[in-house]
Structure 1
Amino acid sequence: MARVRYGARTEREIAATRTASARLPGIWSTGVVAVWETDPDAVAAVLPPPLKPTGRPLVRATVSRVDLPGYPLGAGSFAVAAAHGEVDGWYPLVMPMSHERALTGGREVFGEPKKLGEITVERDGLVVRASMARHGIAFVEIRGAASGPLPLPEPARRTDFYFKFLPAVDGSGFDGEPVLVHCVRHEKVRRLERVTGDVVLRESLYDPVADLPVLRLLEITVGEKTSDQSGRVAERVDAQALLPYVHQRYDDPLQAHDGPPAGSA
């Protein structure tokens, strides 16, 4: 009988897949990053326990074009500064990706809050524009003009926090105990420029990032970087404490009843 490809793989094939995944070549991305201070109460409100706010209510929006061979990828992240014990890092609220292939590994292995979306990174001379869009709404747009090179930073370590879980089959709670994951990235930058511009947050029912407004814009940069990543389970978390935040991960139809905060545009 001919090989049935959906059949069980041999131990050698499983090992080869695992080894290939561990030897991913250095892949460079072109990204636009904006960092700003927002409402500290808003940051505290979006952090599931045991995460806590840091000393500054920071938001970091990253919009990148990843140069995968023959398979260019648009990747976005909208994250708030957070701490877990003595570890400071970032807690992403939404990570839109332009291809389904980029969703599966991140969501199933690390618990990343990835969703299909449209990612734009454009540059025309000095003019830079980047955006994350879903459901026809560019809910984050970063725009401006490159205004000079910046010194290249030393290679750096960054930690992102994710919650990995599976909703229960019967629709109540979780199947299994949810865990908090520390995802550590070692980043290297080969080009970095300052951008003078602004950040626009648009109202979206399914991506309500406008609740974390730009109160003080700290920086916008455009550059090229590469990174690796590894994850570990930091601790198992209280399911009942996490459950009220699960809607962050999904396009919950009930969000249509969550109007914007009073006084917002």
Structure 2
Amino acid sequence: MSTRLRYGARTPEQLRNREVEATSVDTWATSMVAIYETDPGLIASVLPPPLVASAPEHVRLTIARVDVGRGLPPFGAGTFGVGAVHDGLVGDYALTMPMSTEQSVIGGRETFGEPKKIADVRLDLDGDLAVGTRLTGSFTRLGVTYVEINGQLVEELPLPADGVRTSFYLKFQPAPDGKGFDDDPALVHVQRREKNRRLFRVDGEVILRESRFDPVADPPVRRLVGIEIAERSSIQTGAVVRRLPQEDVIPFAHQRYDDLSPVGEE
């Protein structure tokens, strides 16, 4: 019988931050992105200062199937974010990031401040990645399929140059006495260096359904800019760019939590 306790203290080599290491390695995913314009005032109202809405005001909705390799099954990953700007840098601010596995939630949430939650995230194709193939993607949590995208691949597109996409996150921990946070929240910039090896235009529709816990239907689809699906890899790096006053962030902290408390409003 082994006497080694795996919960025991680890050496510096064993304490490597594997979440950061994993985001620094090319990981290929089949990724569908839908962008739609919505009401300007609604986007502004969900952005904590100092973030402001980009123009035109839009939502970026991503549903991906990520291949982690090493004989492990792919997992589902999603993002529902809005266009935002900080100090002249254009990016997106995620309101929710549903993930299908605990492992994909914990690292990004604790390391980068990503607003991840466990969900059933699906991206299904009825054939290969080719013109004519039909697809459907969805987010389901707590019994509600609150996002669904259905469509068909209609055109293979020229590959764009490799690029960098910026995301903004808030990193904080609620104080144990229930009053504010342990420390001033951090504004995190994440840079994703992306490259594509296949890219298609999708003719389809975005369906948003009412959900008490994931109210993504509040910003309506005013104009669908487009839907694309790609085989895409991403290398991610992040940094804290500044600390924010607690009073600026507290009104928005609820965005990443579900009110399941027995003393909740309902």
237, 247, 250: which one aligns with 2:257: 250
- Paired residues in the alignment total 256
Q: Distance in 2 between matches of 1:124 and 1:30?
A: 14
Structure 1 residues not aligned, in runs of 5+: 259-265
Residue matched to 1:54: 54
122, 125, 134: which one aligns with 1:123: 125
Residue matched to 2:154: 147
What is the correspondence of 1:109-188 to structure 2 with a 5 Å cutoff?
109-125=111-127, 126-188=133-195
Q: Sequence identity, in percent?
A: 47
> Alpha carbons of 1:45 and 1:21: their partners in 2 closer, same or farther (altered >3 Å)?
closer
User: What CA deviation, in whole Å up to 9, does each residue of 1:163-193 have, x standing for no partner?
Assistant: 0000010111111111100011000111111
1:2 aligned to 2:9? no
> Alpha carbons of 1:83 and 1:137: their partners in 2 closer, same or farther (altered >3 Å)?
same
- Normalized against structure 1, the TM-score is what? 0.92
Q: Which has the higher helix share?
A: 1
Residue matched to 1:229: 236
Aligned-partner residue type, residue 122 of structure 2:
T
Instruction: Report SS of the residue matched to 2:217.
Output: helix
Aligned-partner residue type, residue 103 of structure 1:
V
Aligned-partner residue type, residue 7 of structure 1:
G
- Normalized against structure 2, the TM-score is what? 0.91
Aligned-partner residue type, residue 164 of structure 1:
K
Q: Distance in 1 between matches of 2:18 and 2:167?
A: 24
RMSD: 2.0
Structure 2 residues not aligned, in runs of 5+: 128-132
Q: Distance in 2 between matches of 1:10 and 1:67?
A: 30
Aligned-partner residue type, residue 199 of structure 1:
V
User: What CA deviation, in whole Å up to 9, does each residue of 1:64-116 have, x standing for no partner?
Assistant: 00011213110000000000111110000000000000111111110000000
User: What CA deviation, in whole Å up to 9, does each residue of 1:22-67 have, x standing for no partner?
Assistant: 3754211011110010011110010011110112101010000001
Instruction: Report SS of the residue matched to 2:53.
Output: coil
1:87 aligned to 2:89? yes
Instruction: State the Cα distance separating 1:224 from its structure 2 match.
Output: 0.7
User: What CA deviation, in whole Å up to 9, does each residue of 1:218-260 have, x standing for no partner?
Assistant: 1001111000101000110010111011110100248x869xx
196, 199, 219: which one aligns with 1:192: 199
> Alpha carbons of 1:20 and 1:81: their partners in 2 closer, same or farther (altered >3 Å)?
closer
Residue matched to 2:130: none
Instruction: Report SS of the residue matched to 1:183.
Output: strand
Instruction: State the Cα distance separating 1:21 from its structure 2 match.
Output: 5.3
* Contact 2:19–2:108 (CA under 8 A) maintained in structure 1: no
* Contact 2:65–2:77 (CA under 8 A) maintained in structure 1: yes
